[in-house]
Amino acid sequence: MIQIAPSMLSADFLHLEKDVEMVNACADLFHLDIMDGVFVPNISYGFPVVDAIASKAEKPLDAHLMIVRPETYVKRFAESGISMLSFHLNATEDPGAVLDLIHGCGMKAGIAVNPDIPVERLFPYIGRCEYMLVMSVFAGFGGQKFIEDTYGRIRTLKSEIAGRGADCLIEVDGGVSAKNASALAEAGADILVAGSAVFKSSDPADVISSLRKV
């Protein structure tokens, strides 16, 4: 069963409670994009916003760290009630140690890769984390165009996971919409992140239900 994770980066920050309630009612996870202006050329939001969302969230919080030295903040995100925490493979010197740290804080762990990093570089971590985040745009901004190569990347990763008999979900993030959701699910995606497709629509609940019909 595919899971839908609306990216709160595209939510209406003047009426955040309304968007949190919509996700509670219609989706599976809250996707929280944390950008530091160093790992990516953009700054998103920090703990005051994360904590506000957490206070009303009835679905698990999935935080996607686009920050350098993610290890520095792992414990702090656990304290905010994050259930799933991912970081970028090339944001740290020792990804394995970060996975251990995330697990030690009681969260599910994921590793993210931008479109220019071969998914084969994730293979050594299969069996050591609960999910992999395959970016279908370059991390940093919502509203970018989906990169078509993503299907092949997901297939490659999925077949390696299946070949090893491992339990590891694939999350896809960037430019996801009702147009590509079925093909992504077919390629092997388990979690679809969608920001603008959901929140820039006049009927977010309807978009989520069409994302589900894959």
Sign of CA dihedral 49, 114, 181, 188: negative
Q: Is 144 in the site for ligand DX5 (CB under 6 A)?
A: yes
Closest CB to Zn ion among residues 165, 189: 189
Query: Is residue 76 within a helix (H) or strand (E), and if so which, with residue range?
Result: helix 74-79
Q: Which of 173, 180, 190, 211 binds Zn ion (CB under 5 A)?
A: 173
Q: How far apart are CA 130 and CA 90, in angstroms?
A: 18
Q: How far apart are CA 210 and CA 198, in angstroms?
A: 10
Reported as half-sphere exposure (CB side, CA atoms, 13 A), residue 175 has a value of: 18
Closest-CB residue for ligand DX5?
Answer: 195
33 classed as catalytic: yes
173 classed as catalytic: yes
Please state the closest distance from residue 141 (CB atom) to ligand DX5, in A.
Answer: 6
What is the per-residue binding string for Zn ion in 53-92, x denoting contact by CB under 5 A?
-----------x----------------------------
Residue tagged 């990216």 (tokens)? 7
Q: Is 178 in the site for ligand DX5 (CB under 6 A)?
A: no
Q: Which of 70, 175, 188, 204 binds ligand DX5 (CB under 6 A)?
A: 175
Please state the closest distance from residue 62 (CB atom) to Zn ion, in A.
Answer: 9
The one catalytic residue among 33, 36, 62, 190: 33
Cβ-based burial of 106 (10 A; exposed 0-12, middle 13-18, buried ≥19): exposed
Question: The tokens of 113 are what?
Answer: 């890769």
Neighbours of 191 (CB within 10 A): 23
Binding interface with ligand DX5 (CB under 6 A): 7, 9-10, 31, 33, 64, 137, 139-144, 173-176, 193-197
